[in-house]
Amino acid sequence: MPFDAVLCDFYGVIGYVDLTEHERRERACGLVPGTTEKIAFAPELAVPAALGRITVGQWTEAIAAGLAGLAGPQDAAELSRGFVEAGCRIDTEVVGLLRQVRARVPVVLVSNSTLQLNAVLETAGLGRSFDAVVTSAQVGVAKPDRRIYEAAAQAAGAAARRCLFVDDRAANVDTAVELGMTGVVYREPDDLLRVLAPLLSEDHRSSS
């Protein structure tokens, strides 16, 4: 087999945050859509949340505090919760490909995200779809820091040089390649299908 494990990003590859309803609420509160997101992802809030230095609850409260002067305390609290707990659109084609591959090798998620990702996966019905979930909040470092890649490879039980790494950010893929992994910058399902074809062919032959 060409790979002993597949390490895959979540946001931008498998899941896409759906802020449609949240942005409707922002407009109803007299805010420009994207206001909450701008506050939430300001470095002074986003970095501690992504690295697990503050809890998801603390991040939510901090976002609400940043919104309070713009929307009032009650609306700010509701907008903050709505943003943090927003659902995801799942690319079922990508999930299907990864499920086929998982019959052959471990598939591990590697995401720069809070521990909220576990709840997102459960809500999407993907709670048992991966062999492990490695987040920046869990490890304390974020991509492209090599330590999160090493943690993911360890979770997969594979040497780095035998891992396929998939991410929608080229800088993150560059670090994976430096570690000896095969890297794929994801843009569409065909990008994944091409590199997974040998594993899928193996799966097809084994069932023939």
The DSSP result for the chain, as a single string, is ---SEEEE-SBTTTEEE--HHHHHHHHHTTPPTTHHHHHHTSHHHHHHHHTTSS-HHHHHHHHHHHHHHHH-HHHHHHHHHHHHT--EEE-HHHHHHHHHHHTTS-EEEEES--THHHHHHHHTT-TTSSSEEEEHHHHS--TTSHHHHHHHHHHHT--GGGEEEEES-HHHHHHHHHTT-EEEE-SSHHHHHHHHHHHHHHHHHHT-
pLDDT for the residue 202: 54
36 with 67: CB under 8 angstroms?
Answer: yes
Quickly tell me which residue has 């091409």 as its tokens: 194
Measured distance CA(122)–CA(88) in Å, rounded: 11
Summarised one tens digit per residue, pLDDT across range 152-208 is 999 999 999 999 999 999 999 999 999 999 999 999 999 999 999 988 875 444 443
Summarised one tens digit per residue, pLDDT across range 46-82 is 999 999 999 999 999 999 999 999 999 999 999 999 9
Select from 204, 199, 206, 191 the least CA-distant residue to 93.
191
153 with 163: CB under 8 angstroms?
Answer: yes
Four-residue CA torsion sign, 109, 112, 116, 120: negative
| Angle in degrees, 0-180, between the axes of helices 146-156 and 170-178, rounded to the nearest 10 | 70
Summarised one tens digit per residue, pLDDT across range 91-140 is 999 999 999 999 999 999 999 999 899 999 999 999 999 999 999 999 99
pTM for this predicted structure: 0.91
